[in-house]
Structure 1
Amino acid sequence: MTSEILIAPSILAADFARLGEEIAAIDAAGADWIHCDVMDGHFVPNISFGADVIKAIRPVTKKVFDVHLMIAPVDPYLDAFAKAGADVITVHAEAGPHLDRTLQAVRALGKKAGVSLCPATSEGAIEYVLDRIDLVLVMTVNPGFGGQSFLESQLEKIKRIRTVIGDRPIRLEVDGGITRENAAAVAAAGADTLVAGSAVFRGKSSADYAGNIAAIRVAAEAGRVSKLQDISVQPMRAGESARLR
Structure 2
Amino acid sequence: MDLLHLKEQIVETEQSGISFFHYDMVDGKFNKCFILGDTLLEMMRSEVTLPIEAHLAAYNPDAYIERFAKLGADYIAVHYEAMEHPLKTFDLIRKFGAQPVLAFKCDTAPPDDFLALAKEVPWILKLTVNPGFSGQTMQQNSLGHIKEMRHRLSEAGMSVSIQADGNVNPSTVNTLYQAGADIFTGGTSGLFKSGHTVKENKEILLSVLHSQTNQYYHW
User: What is the TM-score of this pair, normalised by structure 2?
Assistant: 0.89
Match of 1:201 among 168, 192, 197: 192
Q: Counterparts in 2 of 1:1-245, with a 5 A limit?
A: 14-124=1-111, 126-166=114-154, 167-198=157-188, 199-203=190-194, 208-224=197-213
Q: Separation in 2 of the partners of 1:59 and 1:65? A: 11
Alpha-carbon distance change, 22 to 131 in structure 1, aligned in 2, over 3 angstroms: same
Structure 1, unmatched stretches of 5+, are 1-13, 227-245
Distance change in 2, residues 1:114/1:132 (3 Å) = same
Q: Do the aligned residues in 2 keep the contact of 1:188 with 1:223 (CA within 8 Å)?
A: no
SS at match of 2:206: helix
Q: Corresponding residue for 1:236?
A: none
TM-score w.r.t. structure 1 length? 0.80
Residue 194 of structure 1: CA displacement?
0.3
Once the 2 structures are TM-superposed, how far is the Cα of residue 163 of structure 1 from its aligned partner? 2.0
Return the letter of the residue paired with 1:197: G
Count residues in correspondence: 211
SS in 1 for 2:197: helix
State the shift of 1:223 in Å. Answer: 4.2
Runs of 4+ in 1 over 6 A off after TM superposition: none
Local SS of the residue matching 1:67:
strand
Mapped contact 2:20–2:52 kept (Cα < 8 A) = yes
Aligned-pair RMSD on alpha carbons?
1.8
Secondary structure class of the residue paired with 1:177? coil
Structure 1 residue 218: deviation in Å?
2.1
Give, in whole Å, the separation in 2 of the partners of 1:126 and 1:179.
27
Question: Given residue 214 of structure 1, which amino acid in structure 2 is its aligned partner?
Answer: E
Q: Residues 190-214 of structure 1, C-alpha deviation per residue, up to 9 Å, x if partnerless?
A: 111001110211237xx61111011
Task: Please say if residues 187 and 224 of structure 1, whose CA atoms lie closer than 8 Å, have aligned partners that are also in contact.
Answer: no
Matches of 2:213 and 2:159, distance apart in 1 = 18
Question: CA-to-partner distance for each residue in 1:25-45, whole Å, 9 max, x for gaps?
Answer: 111122221110111112111
Any idea what SS the aligned residue of 1:157 has? helix
Q: Give the residue type in structure 2 aligned to 1:203.
A: S
Cα distance in 2 for residues equivalent to 1:45 and 1:223: 38
2: distance between equivalents of 1:222 and 1:99?
A: 39
What is the CA-CA distance between 1:187 and the residue it aligns to?
1.0
CA contact (8 A) 1:134 1:171 kept: yes
Q: Which has the greater radius of gyration?
A: 1
State the shift of 1:170 in Å: 2.1
Q: Give, in angstroms, the shift of residue 169 of structure 1.
A: 4.4
Question: How far apart are the structure 1 equivalents of 2:182 and 2:38?
Answer: 27
